[in-house]
Chains A and B, each alone.
Chain A
Amino acid sequence: MKVILRNPRREIVIDGRRRVHALLAELDLTREGHLVIRNGTLVPGDAELDRDDVIEIRPVISGGA
């Protein structure tokens, strides 16, 4: 699957199927700090991602306070 990462924007390819929480763990990303979007739709942690999916992992933490 193609995975789009942000800050800065870049793309990586992951082989095989994954559940969302497993993908985040593999990339060492926290659930609380990210949303996972499949083809424009949010997906929860147990959703299974297929080989052909385009996945955006969107960070949600911003620096302003």
Chain B
Amino acid sequence: MKCRTCREPAIIDLPRHNANFCAEHFLQLCRRQVAKAIHDHQMFTEADRILVAVSGGKDSLAVWDLLVDLGYRADGLYIALGIGEYSDESRGYAERFAAERGLVLNVVSLREDYGYDVPTAAKATGRVPCSACGMSKRHLFDKAAVDGGYDVVVTGHNLDDEASVLFGNALRWDVEYLARQLPVLPARHGFPRKVKPLIRLTEREMAAWCVVRGIDYIIEECPMAAGNRHLGYKEALNSLEEKSPGTKASYYLGFLDRMAPLLADLAVTGADSVRPCARCGAATGVADEHAVDGEIVCAFCRLVERSAAHAPVSVDLVRKKSRAERRATMEVEAR
């Protein structure tokens, strides 16, 4: 296989582009796709201070690398979620990435700073781990951005992430979520602007970016995420993609072009309905607020109060085995 651009040996085939690329021209393609997403959706400018939500995985490190590579000013924030060895390892990848490039990485620890971790929060609140994790991260990234004077929070959501969420929302015809599934969430009343510059690139392309750029990232899947619904949606979409390359891009980018504008009125519903949390002062949306002893308390503070009072719970008590783990076990047993 030859690179479409220079005819040198290719290192990757991208069926959705009906093309193969050498390392240099693959990186160029990725830069162009990110620049186009930033430009088309007016995500930010060179003057903005950017905070990247960093997990130590391929997407967050790739987007941080891409933004710095494109000339933007971007710091990182890593949240230590307390998911056993997985969190320890992922933090190491994030810290090494930042240190090797002279970048600023801020760290917040759920256990040290708030007295809980994700497995304990899942057990204490009866939420699935991904729900407790997602809520904690959203609150803390918002808080860090507002407190730190950042203009925008960048997340590493890629095309596969967005297509799978769209697929799930469409399966349930959840029109309010559909209306808000946009690459830019504008700043409002104490919430920072949030953007997703990787929406035009797939997970495979982001992993390849990391390999080509020599970025070490945590490859192992989060033990809490095993068997979650979005993984199933991604597998289903990848099955379609194999048969018909370009399906994921046309599905999600077509949604942005042709469907999202029709839902625009729904997207702003409730946008101004926020009040300050009596505990932490953070802006609280109607959906998240709850009265405790007559005061409005945000969902995060309620989660902290219940989780910090609970005895620590180990990862193994709340995790499911992934399909790959079950398959590996069967392989061993079959020998």
Interface 0/1 of B1-17, CB less than 8 Å to A? 10000000011110100
State in angstroms the CA–CA spacing of A7 and B327 once bound together: 10
A33 touches B20 (CB 8 A): no
Interface 0/1 of B222-244, CB less than 8 Å to A? 10011010110011001101100
State in angstroms the CA–CA spacing of A8 and B238 once bound together: 21
Give the number of residues in A that approach B within 8 Å (Cβ atoms): 28
State in angstroms the CA–CA spacing of A60 and B324 once bound together: 13
Contacting residue for B221 out of A32, A43, A44, A62, CB 8 A? A62
Contacting residue for A6 out of B165, B220, B226, B235, CB 8 A? B220
Contacting B at CB under 8 A, from A1-58, are: 5-10, 30-35, 37, 41-47, 58
B328 touches A10 (CB 8 A): yes
Q: Which residues of B contact A41 (CB under 8 A)?
A: 11
B203 touches A61 (CB 8 A): yes
A8-B325, A42-B211, A58-B219 given; A33·B204 CB < 8 A: yes
Q: Which residues of A contact B239 (CB under 8 A)?
A: 30
A7-B221, A42-B12, A42-B212 given; A64·B238 CB < 8 A: no
Contacting residue for A58 out of B20, B165, B207, B212, CB 8 A? B207
State in angstroms the CA–CA spacing of A9 and B218 once bound together: 12
B220 touches A35 (CB 8 A): no
B324 touches A8 (CB 8 A): yes
Smallest CB-CB separation from A35: which chain B residue? B207
Contacting residue for A35 out of B23, B55, B165, B204, CB 8 A? B204
Main secondary structure of the interface of B (DSSP, over half): helix
Contacting residue for B220 out of A7, A32, A47, CB 8 A? A7
A35 touches B211 (CB 8 A): yes
Q: Which residues of A contact B157 (CB under 8 A)?
A: 65
A37 touches B211 (CB 8 A): yes
State in angstroms the CA–CA spacing of A22 and B262 once bound together: 44
Contacting A at CB under 8 A, from B93-109, are: none
Q: Which residues of B contact A5 (CB under 8 A)?
A: 328
B130 touches A63 (CB 8 A): yes
B11 touches A62 (CB 8 A): no
- B235 to chain A minimum Cβ distance, whole angstroms, is 7
> Is B289 part of the binding interface, using a Cβ–Cβ cutoff of 8 Å?
no
Q: Which residues of A contact B211 (CB under 8 A)?
A: 35, 37, 42, 58
> Is B117 part of the binding interface, using a Cβ–Cβ cutoff of 8 Å?
no
> Is B57 part of the binding interface, using a Cβ–Cβ cutoff of 8 Å?
yes
B325 touches A7 (CB 8 A): yes
> Is B202 part of the binding interface, using a Cβ–Cβ cutoff of 8 Å?
yes
Kindly list the 8 A-B residue pairs having the minimum CB-CB distance in the complex, ordered from nearest: A63-B225, A60-B207, A44-B13, A32-B238, A42-B11, A65-B230, A65-B161, A7-B324
What are 19 A-B pairs with beta-carbon distances under 8 A? A5-B328, A7-B322, A7-B325, A30-B238, A32-B204, A32-B242, A35-B208, A37-B211, A42-B12, A42-B211, A44-B11, A44-B20, A46-B1, A58-B211, A58-B219, A60-B203, A62-B221, A63-B225, A65-B230
Which A residues form the contact surface with B (CB < 8 A)?
5-10, 30-35, 37, 41-47, 58-65
